[in-house]
Structure 1
Amino acid sequence: MSNILAISAGLSQPSSTRLLTDRLAAAARGEPGAETTVEVVELREHAHDITDNLLTGFANQRLRPVLEQLEAADGLILVSPTFSASYSGLFKSFMDLVEPESVHDKPVLLGATGGTERHSLVLEHALRPLLAYLRAQVVPTAVYAASSDWGNDSDLNQRITRAAGELASAVQRQPAQRKDDPFANPVPFEQLLQETATN
């Protein structure tokens, strides 16, 4: 059983970003032969927590579980609204808190929403480079939904289905995650004292 975390960076409620996130999540969950659970997190509900973390350097008790979920997930769905031809500030602020090792080699499906088709390149010139920098394994198909796409469900559904299939395949190909416990093999205190004394 694999688990996917879907993150929506929509600011309004209701939100087209959350709507796209839900449809991508449902498609990933419903992939044939894929035993997958998908949980959706709205960054809007953690906006103050994200800001507090940026200011203090520490995740509070509401935000910490989200970061832990992201690290433990077998795959990610990341969806942002488009602002000034890029991802939203809320999305970027959250990604600034993510430890790079948390997404290293992790399969990721990218999505974005915007008013017009003209902003669709946000996926390629903003979101994909950010995830490449974090060394995530971004699936080839990303999904952009403009306002006009919501009336053209067949075309949008095709893109969603193709992207979800690519994510499900990438997650299934991933080896099981094994995270080393930093406290599993502690250095004995006597050894630390000896090392200090010899230096």
Structure 2
Amino acid sequence: MKILLVDGTIIGTKTSVILEKVKDYIEEISTEHTLEIIRFANYEHQFVDGRPMDQYNDDMQLLVSKFEQADGYIIATPIFQGSIPGVLKNAFDFLHPKTMRYKPVSIVANGGTYQHHLVIENQLKPILDYFRCLVTPNYVYTQTSHFDENNIIVDEDVHNRLRELARVFVQYAEMSKGLCKEPIDTH
């Protein structure tokens, strides 16, 4: 299975650090998956404005293609101003509603305070529910004190929760193999 690990921001490094750890922990559990990290910072983004997909730049078409070809996702996002980054929401807006249907998704996020974890519950989960994803019940939220001055995760509980997230994600990925994936009709 092809798993897309999505670094859903164009600034900062903590989100990427968390995503790399999740990748490591999935690889410890299973070697059956092809894991690819995509960093939104490496793409030239355009706003969704309703035009046909072939009128967007190559980066946006490639991003959509990567989402369509993936069998599962780890979505990583910082929390800014009590919300997910606009670039992540814009990427979701590019996707056909069936793109992520019945595919496993786990969420990791980071923010400056403990309270911002509610953004996952109130914003990100409803978006993923709209896509009818198989969202794992255990997301991991980190905040500033979980990292050292070099943005290395120093909190052992965070490592344990990331290992558990990886374990549950792999089980969801196995479960999803038997579900019928509907073809995407782009006409």
TM-score, structure 1 normalization: 0.80
Question: How many aligned residue pairs are there?
Answer: 177
Paired position in structure 2 for 1:192? none
What is the match of residue 9 of structure 1?
8
Structure 2 residue 27 is the aligned partner of structure 1 residue 29: yes
Structure 1 equivalent of residue 49 of structure 2: 54
Higher helix proportion, which one? 1
**Displacement after TM superposition at 1:61 (Å):** 2.0
1:161 aligned partner: 163
**CA-to-aligned-CA distance 1:39-65 (integer Å, 9 cap, x gap):** 01111222x3332x5364423222222
Decide whether the 8 Å contact of 1:4 with 1:77 is kept in 2.
yes
> Secondary structure at the residue paired with 1:11?
coil
Using the size of structure 2 for normalisation, the TM-score is 0.85
Q: Which residue of 2 aligns with 1:95?
A: 92
SS in 2 for 1:50: coil
Preserved contact between residue 131 and residue 138 of structure 1 (Cα < 8 Å): yes
| Pairing partner for 2:111 from 110, 114, 122 | 114
Which residue of 2 is the match for residue 124 of structure 1? 121
- Displacement of 1:153: 2.7
- How many percent identity over aligned positions? 25
Alpha-carbon separation, structure 2, partners of 1:79 and 1:174: 21
- Does the 8 A contact of 2:98 with 2:184 survive in 1? no
TM-align CA RMSD? 2.1
Q: Does 1:70 align with 2:72?
A: no
User: In the aligned structure 2, how far is the partner of 1:36 from the partner of 1:79?
Assistant: 18
Work out whether residues 3 and 74 of structure 1, in 8 Å CA contact, stay in contact via their aligned partners in 2: yes
Report which structure shows greater RCO (CA 8 Å, sep ≥6). 2
CA contact (8 A) 1:116 1:146 kept: yes
- Residue identity matched to 2:113: T
Cα shift readout 1:107-155 (whole Å, capped 9, x = no counterpart): 0001111111121111111111111111111001101110111254311
1:138-149 map, 5 Å: 138-149=135-146
SS in 2 for 1:85: coil
